[in-house]
Amino acid sequence: MTESQPLATVMKAEALLQQVRGKLGPDCRLYRAPGRVNLIGEHTDYNQGLVMPTAINRFTYAAAVPLSRKELRLESREFEQSYTASLDAIRPAQGWGNYVLGMAAGLMQRGYELRGSRLQIQSEIPFGAGLSSSAALEISTGLAMLGTSQTWPREGMDLVWAAHFSDHHFVGVLSGIMDQFVSTYGRRGCALLLDCRSLEWEPVPLPPDCDLVICNTGVRHALAGSEYNQRRQECQAGVECFQRRRPQVRSLRDVHEDDLQRWQADLPEVVFRRCRHIITENQRVIEARQAFRDGNLYRLGELFAASHRSLRDDYEVSCAELDAMVEAAEAAPGFVAGRMTGGGFGGCTVNLVHQPYTAEFIASVAATYARLMGKKPDIWAVESANGGGELTAQPGSQELLIRAAT
């Protein structure tokens, strides 16, 4: 599977279903959930702030058959390790299966009765590249486990919270809800503006004359046990400091730039910069929504650039490779806007590119980046996608049908 060819476009739905049924038996059903790229609003989700991700047409697929025993059997095309676990005694394990075991535990905690299932996973989303392969794994397998249990999410947020539970209690990453949310609720043609405090959201139509181009540095980011949780603690330290002055502050969402300047001297220098990133990034998301509405591509370029600088200098989650990739993109034909995306410490940049120039843009960024860093990057255009669901096909039809989760 190459990154430029998503599975569902090279294999039509019927053939895909036949393939998995050939392997797992006639009862086998197929589910999938997309990865995502975040356009703007980085590290704001766990600060009750604003984010603007879009689901992308790179999916994780979970083929599932029911088992008579109340157990989970997990296999993956990409990883050798397989798992067997009793649903009555689910515990964290090591490796990729942990995301799925945590998802099962999260769903049961929300009152879903799970029956036994055997799941076979296949993914088109590069791992550790900041494109939410883990959320796609959680949401696709969550749907599969519900499907084999003859049930379906009562509401999409149950999937989102179960995946969040898995991250926090099984995987050990204190993530926000952006990734799981967009993998569940994604809308083709749109980014989603999500308010992570109120959980209100709206679709933001993407500019029709721009392509979304992802540039992968190939530097693997490891969120678990990394600086991610530390950033969260630093933000919490900021909240506590502001609370001493204004007890009604519950998160950095309640703090304005003026407050930040006024109390700068009371904050440790690092905490001040972390808070400044979050507060200004929320503002940039609001301005980006307006720029998308107005079709103001120039303003989007400014906002993406400011977001990247803030993540690099204030939040310190960029790296030399991401900075070089942004620099290479800014000098390439057709460039509209670009910045690092996702948790950081490696992974990808996201770019808006004027459509007629996409091929030239990709060639130019690849050449400049190779010159700057001595490595060949992976660069490809993606399309926005709908959130996860079950794949079905009418006999004899080539059309891919999705029973959506939401």
Pick from 124, 138, 158, 179 the residue near ligand GLA by CB under 6 A. Answer: 179
**CA 381/CA 370 separation, integer angstroms:** 19
Q: What is d(CA 105, CA 179) in angstroms, rounded to the nearest whole number?
A: 19
Strands (E), 94-143: 116-123
For tokens 């980011």, the residue is 221
Binding mask 199-218 for ligand GLA (x = CB under 6 A): --------------------
Among 46, 96, 161, 181, binds ligand GLA (CB under 6 A): 46
Measuring CA to CA, which residue among 78, 104, 222 is closest to residue 163?
Answer: 104
Distance of closest approach, residue 141 Cβ to ligand GLA, in angstroms = 17
Stretch that binds ligand GLA, among 61-69, 176-184, 271-279, 308-316 (CB under 6 A): 176-184
* ∠ CA 70-168-146, rounded to 5°: 35
343 is a site residue for ligand GLA (CB under 6 A): yes
Give the residue among 226, 283, 287, 286 at the shortest CA–CA distance from 252.
283
Q: How far is the CB of 196 from ligand GLA (least distance, A)?
A: 9
Structural tokens at position 56: 């992308």
Active site residue 323: no
Q: Which is nearer to ligand GLA, 63 or 326 (CB)?
A: 326
- Which residues have C-beta within 8 Å of that of residue 317, sequence separation ≥ 6? 42, 43, 227, 231, 311, 340, 343, 344, 345
How many residues of this chain interact with ligand GLA, rule: CB under 6 A?
Answer: 11
Residue selected from 342, 346, 387, 388 as contacting ligand GLA according to rule CB under 6 A? 342
**Rounded Cα–Cα distance for residues 405 and 238 (Å):** 37
Pairing of strands 116-123, 71-76: parallel
138 is a site residue for ligand GLA (CB under 6 A): no
**Cβ atoms of 181 and 198 closer than 8 Å:** no
| Catalytically annotated residue among 45, 158, 167, 179 | 179
45 contacts ligand GLA (rule: CB under 6 A): yes
To which H or E segment does residue 286 belong? Answer: helix 269-294
Least distance (Å) between residue 9 CB and ligand GLA = 26
Q: Which of 48, 117, 133, 175 binds ligand GLA (CB under 6 A)?
A: 175
Minimum distance from residue 361 beta carbon to ligand GLA (Å): 25
How far is CA 221 from its chain centroid? 13
Residue 42 found at the interface with ligand GLA (CB under 6 A): yes
In the list 32, 43, 118, 274, the residue contacting ligand GLA (rule: CB under 6 A) is 43
Q: Which is nearer to ligand GLA, 41 or 377 (CB)?
A: 41
**Positions 10 through 39 that interact with ligand GLA (CB under 6 A):** 38
DSSP 8-state class, residue 82: -
Binders of ligand GLA among 244-303, rule CB under 6 A?
none
Counting beta carbons within 10 angstroms of the beta carbon of residue 208, is it exposed (0 to 12), middle (13 to 18) or buried (19 or more)?
exposed
What gap in Å lies between CA 234 and CA 242, rounded to an integer? 13
390 near ligand GLA (CB under 6 A): no
Closest to ligand GLA by CB, 178 vs 271, is 178
Q: Which is nearer to ligand GLA, 34 or 176 (CB)?
A: 176
**Site residues, ligand GLA (CB under 6 A):** 38, 42-43, 45-46, 175-176, 178-179, 342-343
Active site residues: 179
